[in-house]
Structure 1
Amino acid sequence: MMCPPELQALHPTKAAPVIQDGNITLAESGAIVEYILTKYGGGKLALPPTSSDYADYLYFLHFANGYFQPALLRYGPVMRCGASSDDLAAKFTKRGFEQSLQILEDRVGKHPWLAGAEFTAADIMNVCSLTTMRVFYPYSLEAYPAIVAYLKRVSERVGFQTATEKGDPGFERPIGAEKPLYGQR
């Protein structure tokens, strides 16, 4: 809904993210990241199958799109509509959302990055849900100090700063623990 018409015209989803590479137009963040890593990455931001952290890398590479974002997108409207905490649907969606955050908290509480010792595409895939999406589905990270420390590490990376400025100039992503104000963009 917020994409300009020229972006909507690129792909049937009519939404971002979408990339064009020659005559190829590709949507879906996971597919885009895998395409770029495979075609142009030269082994950067990915772990090889021989790595002892390969399974963790794969899990967290797909965690955002496969578990965290669906949980957030189910729970976000429940948070906004003020459903009773006794409501079964509210309990179910809250549990999935909180599990997502706890999984991430546990992981980055033990490792500097989601795949282990190295910053990888797994980190890139999850940061949007922990930052940008918090503007539209505001939630606090006060109960998750390891995630807050992780986001500080991410935000200090030159690549994060460059991508943020290119992709959304002037937009301040929430990095701290506090709950952002809804729609503050």
Structure 2
Amino acid sequence: MITVHSLAFSRAVRVVWLLEELGETYELKTYARTEAYRAPPALKAIHPLGKSPVIEDGGLVLGESAAILRYVDGRYGGHRHSPDPGTDAHAIHDEWLDFVEGSMARSVIAAFWAKKNGGAVEEKMRTEYATIMAYLARTLADRDFLMGGRPMLADIQISYLLAMAEASGVLGDHPAVLAYFKRLEAMAGLRRAVARTGPIMPPL
């Protein structure tokens, strides 16, 4: 059985959401953040980076959200949350998975910390964020989800950063992306995951 190590207000909600979608039995171990909004030292006993999510599955200890999602969907889901391997769609889906914590994350995280600390987002990050949102809006102009008519791993992956953007007050100016996030929020699997892990974002 998979054990999910879940830090409060963390990316672990992605993993729990996928497990809920698959109907897999799992154990959830939760950790509170420190006053500095960091992970507690106990997580370093599980994985040297001391971050969340981390899963244990038998002798396997695995970190990084995208790697965990790929592993869980492949081993327990028959790859049904990603396009067929070897296709162009599969390559594009992999691009979206990497885009979230690569191209997208920096500007969204900048907005989060600016909101949390009562500061302003620097111009470079505002410009980068606007480019990201325009890219997403164009993609979603003719579809409900990133790859088309049904959600896949990439949609699970991006949900956390969209929640962060909404909590930071920077998503409302992008109605197409906000509507997409609301579609994700309404999904039963994500609602069940949040019921297990707690809110995706803290009050800011």
TM-score relative to the length of structure 2: 0.71
Deviations 1:105-153 (A, max 9, x none): 2212221100112210010000000004654xx1322221111211221
Counterpart in the other structure of 2:120:
82
> Is 1:116 aligned to residue 148 of structure 2?
yes
In the alignment, structure 2 segments of 5+ residues that lack a partner are 1-33
Equivalent position of 1:35 in the other structure? 71
Instruction: Kindly tell me the number of residue pairs found equivalent between the two proteins.
Output: 166
User: Relative contact order (C-alpha < 8 Å, sep 6+): which is higher?
Assistant: 2
1:49-86 per-position Cα deviation (integer Å, ceiling 9, x unaligned): 36563343222122111111123234555665336xxx
Q: Distance in 1 between matches of 2:125 and 2:119?
A: 13
Q: In the alignment, which residue of structure 2 is the partner of 1:13?
A: 49
User: Does the 8 A contact of 1:141 with 1:148 survive in 2?
Assistant: yes
Q: Matched residues, percent identical? A: 25
Does the 8 Å contact 2:44/2:50 carry over to 1? Answer: yes
Taking the aligned partners of 2:40 and 2:166, their CA distance within structure 1 comes to 22
Q: Do the aligned partners of residues 143 and 82 (structure 1) sit closer, same or farther apart at CA in structure 2, a change above 3 Å counting? A: closer
Which residue, out of 79, 89, 94, partners 1:53?
89
**Equivalent in the alignment of 1:131:** 163
Q: Which residue of 2 aligns with 1:177?
A: none
CA distance, structure 1, for counterparts of residue 164 and residue 77 of structure 2: 25
| Misfit runs of 4+, over 4 Å | 74-80
Distance 2:88 2:65 in 1: 25
- Inter-partner Cα distance in structure 2 for 1:77 and 1:184: 12
- Does the 8 Å contact 1:53/1:116 carry over to 2? no
Following superposition, the deviation at residue 5 of structure 1 comes to 4.2
TM-score when normalising by structure 1: 0.77
1:107 has 2:139 as partner:
yes
Code of the residue aligned with 1:125 in structure 2: it is Q
Q: Structure 1: any 5+ residue segments left out of the alignment? A: 84-89, 175-182
Q: Which residue of 1 aligns with 2:174?
A: 144
The answer as to 2:118 corresponding to 1:93 is no
Alpha-carbon distance in structure 2 between the residues aligned to 1:98 and 1:132: 15
Offset of 1:20 from its aligned partner? 0.6
